[in-house]
Amino acid sequence: MAHITIDTGSPTLRMTTSIHMISPVDTGVPTNSTLYLLHGAGDNASTWQRLTTVELYAAKYGCTVIMPEVNRSYYTDMEYGLDYFYYVTQELPEICGRLFRLKDDPQKTFVAGLSMGGYGAMKAALTYPGRFAKAVSLSGVTDILKRLRDPNMEQGMAKEMQAVFGTELTIKPEQDLYALAAKLIEEGGELPPVLCCCGTEDPFIGMNREFAAYMQNTPFDFKYVEGPGTHDWLFWEEHLKTAFDFLFNEKN
């Protein structure tokens, strides 16, 4: 396995940022697919590789995994900050394609993430459905407005959210997963298959069940999996297998 860490200047972010990549170039398995794997709040570009067995799955399926750094931006073009959604969906693929000569094949390009990154993965796939074959959210924030209005949110996090979404903590249609899904259905556009997983003791279980109930009554090819667990790496490690099985059509 090749593990590459890149520190590169980003015109969009106007600063140096990190990208981690793993690729099974020396395993004998053809490398013909790409997964953009997004971290959660409080994590960084290295966390997936440090805390899970993602390398083993990349080797099994011949998948190059790209893990960008987005800090605590909620994969959003911030109201008072940097344009992280543009960076992840526009600049990052261009950088990786140029540096690693990745094939730009939407049928073999996936996006997935956990928690904040689950929201980012869903938003990317529902905004640009033609770019991704499938999308996965693990313990994702599926109702961003409910998250912003959480009465138990820490004061420091509330200030962060104001930097991202504005002082009134309102959201735009392009930031709302429900609105994005409804728009795609109305337009008759491509509907990427979607998987959401959440633990039964996770604080986000309610919003994930509600999102699943909504999506299961739409034309989306939508799969929902929940099981014992909370908002932690034990659950995410277990369901990393669920995610790769879904992405590569393995039977659970």
Q: Residue 109: give its domain's CATH number.
A: 3.40.50.1820
Question: Is residue 245 domain-resident?
Answer: no
The answer to whether 11 touches 83, Cβ cutoff 8 Å, is no
What is the model's pLDDT at position 252?
44
What is the model's pLDDT at position 53?
97
What is the model's pLDDT at position 102?
85
Three-state secondary-structure class, residue 16: strand
> Looking at this protein, which amino acid is placed at residue 229?
G
Question: Is residue 225 domain-resident?
Answer: yes
Residue 63 domain boundaries: 2-239
What is the model's pLDDT at position 104?
81
Give the whole-angstrom CA distance, residue 131 versus residue 190.
10
> Looking at this protein, which amino acid is placed at residue 136?
V
Question: Is residue 251 domain-resident?
Answer: no
What is the model's pLDDT at position 154?
85
Blockwise average pLDDT, block size 10, the chain, 252 residues? 93 97 80 94 96 96 96 97 98 93 90 98 97 98 96 88 95 98 93 98 98 98 98 98 94 50
The answer to whether 183 touches 191, Cβ cutoff 8 Å, is no
The token pair at 188 is 């008759």
Nearest C-alpha neighbor of 50 from the set 36, 39, 59: 39
Question: Is residue 247 domain-resident?
Answer: no
The answer to whether 102 touches 96, Cβ cutoff 8 Å, is yes
What is the model's pLDDT at position 12?
98
Question: Is residue 246 domain-resident?
Answer: no
Question: Is residue 244 domain-resident?
Answer: no
Domain count, the chain: 1
